[in-house]
Structure 1
Amino acid sequence: GRYTHETISALTDQVLKEVEAFRHRPIPEDMAWVYLDGFFLKVLREGIGVEREAVYVALGVTPGGQRQVLGFWLLPTESATAWEEVLRELWQRGLRRVLLFITDGLPGMEEAIRRVYPLAQWQVCVVHRVRSSLAQVRARDRALLAQDLKGIYGARSRVEALEALERLKEAWGSRYPSLVAAWWENSGA
């Protein structure tokens, strides 16, 4: 059957109320780690038309291993300043302690996290790091480089990872010096 305009409007109002309640609900005090990511979506704005906007998503994992969507936000663009506002909102909703934040390499992210959660650790997501690295190299080098990078992030020990970093340096250091330097820099070696 077909729905009347009034029925659709009532359903939409109910869904929006529930979304707002979800977005502002209290959240646990402790998270083992929180994954922050943004992606772009085309959004239809009444009277404006279709615009590209950033959807910010915060996913948490409790110390007991339970996964939770902590929140999502629709903002015009992705920036560390906007992420800092998101972090402040998470704090206001009750999140007090996070062991580790995992994010993409957006400039200013580490500093934004430090201002709100100074005791938390931070690391760049491996998927983002690999994707970013592969985007910097010639198409014909991607498959081999991807294999060499997997040797680093897939290592079973620190020693194995450092050996894989050495192999990366030998194989790619002269062709992609800044990429290799970045992997060394982020290794803590």
Structure 2
Amino acid sequence: MVTLIIIGITCVVSFMAFNNQRLMNDLILWPPAIERQREYYRLVTYGAIHADFGHLFVNMLTLFFFGRVMEGFYTHTLGQFGFVLFYLGGLIVSILPTYLSNRGNANYRSLGASGAVSAVLFASILFQPWAKLYLYFAIPIPAILYAVLYVIYSIYMDRRGQGNVNHSAHLWGAAYGVAFTLMVQPERLSIFLDQLMRPRF
């Protein structure tokens, strides 16, 4: 239910912001608003708005499929609001490096839940490394291979520094998802490594 609530809130706020530029501007991550006006809430609210329907759809579809796996784990280990805390942490941690490197850049803006969704996806891969993911919704690929390709691609694109996609947030979100999950359940690493040695296609 928590995953569905997050998806519902994100969809409602995103659809509202599509037609309300003032709302978009009030929620987006804009470094000067945080640096000068102390609007720290933007470190979270930027994840509730998206650039367009396609951006929203991909993020929420990914969250729907993998959020339920991690919601069960975090509810069991951290309690009723465990998954909410994990997700909010993903939003904050994934964007912090970008924010810190753009504190004086009035032209920089960032939006979308991709960093937190990456955290959820990579945490779930710790549990099911050989699960099938579908690249472009058509090509089946083992989750662990997808993770490797995703990281390589994100590092390459981040270093190129072109386009409007925040690849840094994807990388930091993924790292946070893995690190936080292993901090909560350290034995998960040995289980994960054992699963890697037993491929299932």
- TM-score greater than 0.5 by the shorter chain: no
- If asked which structure has higher relative contact order (CA below 8 Å, sep 6+), I would say 2
Short-chain TM bin: under 0.3
Larger radius of gyration: 1
Decide which structure has greater strand share. Answer: 1
TM-score (norm 1): 0.26
TM-score (norm 2): 0.25
